[in-house]
A and B are shown apart, each in its own frame.
Chain A
Amino acid sequence: MAGKASRAAFGEALLELGAKDERIVTVDADLSKSTMTGGFGKKFPDRHFNVGIAESGMIGLAAGLALTGHVPFACSFACFLVGRFETIRVSVAYSDAPVKLVGTHVGVAIGEDGYTQMGLEDMACLRALPNIPILQPADEIETRQAVAYAVEHPGPIYLRLTRQGLEPVHEASYRFRFGKADVLRPGHDVTVLATGGTVWYALEAAEALAAEGIQAEVVNVGTVKPLDEETILRSAGRTGHVVTVEDHSISGGLGSAVAEMLAELMPTPLKRIGVTTFGESGDMKGLYAKHGLDAAGITAAVRKFLRR
């Protein structure tokens, strides 16, 4: 992967935004080297707080900072951050404290560290809370703009970021729009809805499918919640077939959100691609092949889905 990890783009964006906006502070729980807030901490040491390995306390602290006028980014691995769900649920969500939750190291893509470090259920948890949007940018340019949006978002919000590098999927002219999915490649046979690091593979799969005469429409769902129903329904209405792709549990993430929406508004044949087991140690390439998240896996799943 030649591109930049979304966590790295996040760290750089934060540094730029922090220079202009003194309200921005970061709170970490001993992972600032990994969440990439270290650069911010070096430049703005008095606005960078490391509470030690104490994520619940960190989230509560961030809520207090948010409720006294600051814009706190509370950062950890997605699994550790959202693992303290109860504190997010009450001190952030129910209190409507405008904390910017940042979960990095999402999915089986983190590889060698294995399951305990993989954020695989974070979207499922946060989707259940009424007021926390979920942003999962697919490349560097989208990440930078999503971070800038998060600063201005009036309430709490969640950013889901990758450890691994991400190939660019957007043009330089890309403009992030909150709550909007964007069609990256038009097609009329099947709609492929992807999010985060899987978007690039969905595009590669579409290329392979095109060679077989299958025209896949690839849609980047950068805002997983609230879902862009309009764009998804328009595409699904044209293609009649929908596939979702995410490096997250098959339960509760993008696939579930799409299934719920389609079932209620426009029942459409649907295939969900996601993680159906615990994760495990291994190289990312091998894990993506195993879970069908790479281009070959998506291609095969789409082919099978359309043939049924």
Chain B
Amino acid sequence: MANPDVAKLETIAREGRVEILRMITHAGSGHPGGSLSVIDILADLYFNRLRLDPARPQWEDRDRFILSKGHCVPAQYYCMAKRGFFPMDRVITLRKLGSRLQGHPDRVALPGIEAATGSLGQGISVAVGMALGLKLAGKAARVYCVLGDGETQEGQVWESLMSAPKLGGPDHHLDNLCVILDYNGIQLDGFVKKILDLEPITEKLKAFAWAVLEVNGHDIAQVDKALDQAEANKGVPTFIVAHTVKGKGVSFMENDPEWHGKAPKPEEAVRAIREVVGEPVPQWAQPIIAELSALGKK
């Protein structure tokens, strides 16, 4: 959108980092690294892009968002709570028995989640189907899908990458579809480059007939500009390669595969949050630090 309030979105993303660390610490398990790498992208999507109505999660004309890398759902839960899908205090029920905030996105349990994901490679297929479905129904709504880089090793991803630019043509080209790659370079077992390198990813996508853009996934202004460009692209779906840092914002988590799928201990979370918010600790973050400090003493 023209002239996004970048400072506001950065503030939201900062609060998002704090809530991500808070909820994963309470849960005692989860995926902080990829949640922290994707939060700036989600902040722009949820607070400057997606046409949603939390009061009507099934509104037919809403934009669809699918987090194909479902394990990073803490970032999405924060955004959903912030947009009013549920109260923010619920985030600490993440992964607990009876909570709607399942360890991976659950469409049936939580209105506002568009598809169950977490089995990697599937979300993008569903996103392509939704983009096609919306076009067939004559809807102007758009579909956004965030892919993980490790996830992009899945064969099913390439089935969708191959079909999306062809499907729907010539009357219903899927230019309502935008896929964003959270390219943080790390997967569970280590570095993507070492395990199964995706490069040259932009050339591959171009060869597959996608409109391809590259951005710094932590520069919200850049992300927003790319999403504008994606909306302007006609006749083709858009693929945004967002270069990110795993664990972004927490020095001891950044670029360390260790933090792909490990919850911080409460004292580590407090240290991480202090780093995210800076000194002096703003008033809104103080109760969270107190809460986590108390959790550590239990």
Interface flag for B163 (CB, 8 Å): yes
A25-B136, A57-B163 known; A86 vs B119 contact (CB < 8 Å): yes
Tell whether, in the assembled complex, residue A90 and residue B119 are in contact, meaning their CB atoms are under 8 Å apart. Answer: yes
Interface flag for A150 (CB, 8 Å): no
Which parts of B138-157 form the interface with A (CB within 8 Å)?
139, 155-156
| Closest residue on chain B to residue A84 by CB atoms | B156
Interface flag for B118 (CB, 8 Å): yes
Taken together as a complex, chains A and B put the C-alpha atoms of A63 and B66 apart, in Å, by 13
Tell whether, in the assembled complex, residue A61 and residue B129 are in contact, meaning their CB atoms are under 8 Å apart. Answer: yes
Interface flag for A67 (CB, 8 Å): yes
Q: Which residues in B have their C-beta under 8 angstroms from that of A95? A: 107-108, 115-116, 126
Say how far A83's CB is from chain B's closest CB, in angstroms.
13
Say how far A259's CB is from chain B's closest CB, in angstroms.
31
Instruction: Mark each residue of chain B from 114 to 133: 1 if its CB lies under 8 Å from any CB of chain A, else 0.
Output: 11111101111111111111
Tell whether, in the assembled complex, residue A63 and residue B167 are in contact, meaning their CB atoms are under 8 Å apart. Answer: no
Tell whether, in the assembled complex, residue A64 and residue B129 are in contact, meaning their CB atoms are under 8 Å apart. Answer: yes
Q: Which residues in B have their C-beta under 8 angstroms from that of A68? A: 64, 129-130, 133-134, 136-137, 139
Tell whether, in the assembled complex, residue A91 and residue B122 are in contact, meaning their CB atoms are under 8 Å apart. Answer: yes
Say how far B156's CB is from chain A's closest CB, in angstroms.
4
Tell whether, in the assembled complex, residue B126 and residue A63 are in contact, meaning their CB atoms are under 8 Å apart. Answer: yes
Tell whether, in the assembled complex, residue B163 and residue A60 are in contact, meaning their CB atoms are under 8 Å apart. Answer: no
Tell whether, in the assembled complex, residue B106 and residue A94 are in contact, meaning their CB atoms are under 8 Å apart. Answer: yes
A49-B132, A56-B159 known; A67 vs B115 contact (CB < 8 Å): yes
Tell whether, in the assembled complex, residue B122 and residue A87 are in contact, meaning their CB atoms are under 8 Å apart. Answer: yes
Which parts of B91-120 form the interface with A (CB within 8 Å)?
106-108, 114-119
Q: Which residues in A have their C-beta under 8 angstroms from that of B106? A: 94
A49-B167, A96-B107 known; A57 vs B156 contact (CB < 8 Å): yes
Q: Which residues in B have their C-beta under 8 angstroms from that of A154? A: none
A46-B171, A67-B126 known; A87 vs B156 contact (CB < 8 Å): yes
Taken together as a complex, chains A and B put the C-alpha atoms of A70 and B129 apart, in Å, by 10
Say how far B76's CB is from chain A's closest CB, in angstroms.
15
Tell whether, in the assembled complex, residue A67 and residue B156 are in contact, meaning their CB atoms are under 8 Å apart. Answer: no
| Closest residue on chain B to residue A59 by CB atoms | B125
| Closest residue on chain B to residue A69 by CB atoms | B137
Q: Which residues in B have their C-beta under 8 angstroms from that of A69? A: 60, 133, 137
Say how far B103's CB is from chain A's closest CB, in angstroms.
13
Tell whether, in the assembled complex, residue A90 and residue B128 are in contact, meaning their CB atoms are under 8 Å apart. Answer: no
Q: Which residues in A have their C-beta under 8 angstroms from that of B60? A: 69
Taken together as a complex, chains A and B put the C-alpha atoms of A65 and B137 apart, in Å, by 10
Tell whether, in the assembled complex, residue B125 and residue A56 are in contact, meaning their CB atoms are under 8 Å apart. Answer: yes
Tell whether, in the assembled complex, residue B125 and residue A87 are in contact, meaning their CB atoms are under 8 Å apart. Answer: yes
Instruction: Mark each residue of chain A from 3 to 37: 1 if its CB lies under 8 Å from any CB of chain B, else 0.
Output: 00000000000000000000001000000000000
Interface flag for A180 (CB, 8 Å): no
Which parts of A68-98 form the interface with B (CB within 8 Å)?
68-70, 72, 86-87, 89-91, 94-97
Say how far B113's CB is from chain A's closest CB, in angstroms.
9
| Closest residue on chain B to residue A87 by CB atoms | B122
A56-B155, A57-B163 known; A70 vs B133 contact (CB < 8 Å): yes
Say how far B62's CB is from chain A's closest CB, in angstroms.
11
Taken together as a complex, chains A and B put the C-alpha atoms of A69 and B119 apart, in Å, by 24
Chain B residues bordering chain A, tally (CB within 8 A): 37
Tell whether, in the assembled complex, residue A63 and residue B114 are in contact, meaning their CB atoms are under 8 Å apart. Answer: no
Say how far A81's CB is from chain B's closest CB, in angstroms.
14
Interface flag for B198 (CB, 8 Å): no
Q: Which residues in A have their C-beta under 8 angstroms from that of B35? A: none
Interface flag for B160 (CB, 8 Å): yes
Tell whether, in the assembled complex, residue B126 and residue A60 are in contact, meaning their CB atoms are under 8 Å apart. Answer: yes
Interface flag for A289 (CB, 8 Å): no
Say how far B264's CB is from chain A's closest CB, in angstroms.
28
Interface flag for A47 (CB, 8 Å): yes
| Closest residue on chain A to residue B156 by CB atoms | A56
Say how far A67's CB is from chain B's closest CB, in angstroms.
6
| Closest residue on chain B to residue A70 by CB atoms | B133
Interface flag for B27 (CB, 8 Å): no
Taken together as a complex, chains A and B put the C-alpha atoms of A69 and B61 apart, in Å, by 12
Taken together as a complex, chains A and B put the C-alpha atoms of A174 and B127 apart, in Å, by 41
Taken together as a complex, chains A and B put the C-alpha atoms of A26 and B114 apart, in Å, by 22
Interface flag for B88 (CB, 8 Å): no
Say how far B168's CB is from chain A's closest CB, in angstroms.
8
Interface flag for A54 (CB, 8 Å): yes
Tell whether, in the assembled complex, residue B122 and residue A64 are in contact, meaning their CB atoms are under 8 Å apart. Answer: no
Tell whether, in the assembled complex, residue B167 and residue A89 are in contact, meaning their CB atoms are under 8 Å apart. Answer: no
Interface flag for A267 (CB, 8 Å): no
12 contacts between A and B (CB under 8 A): A25-B136, A49-B132, A52-B159, A54-B162, A54-B163, A57-B128, A60-B123, A60-B156, A64-B127, A65-B132, A67-B126, A91-B122
19 more A-B residue pairs beyond the given contacts A51-B163, A68-B137, with a C-beta to C-beta distance below 8 A: A25-B136, A47-B136, A54-B163, A60-B122, A60-B125, A60-B126, A61-B128, A63-B125, A64-B115, A64-B127, A64-B132, A66-B129, A70-B136, A87-B125, A89-B119, A91-B116, A96-B108, A97-B115, A97-B126
Chain A residues within 8 Å of B, Cβ to Cβ: 25, 46-47, 49, 51-52, 54, 56-57, 59-70, 72, 86-87, 89-91, 94-97
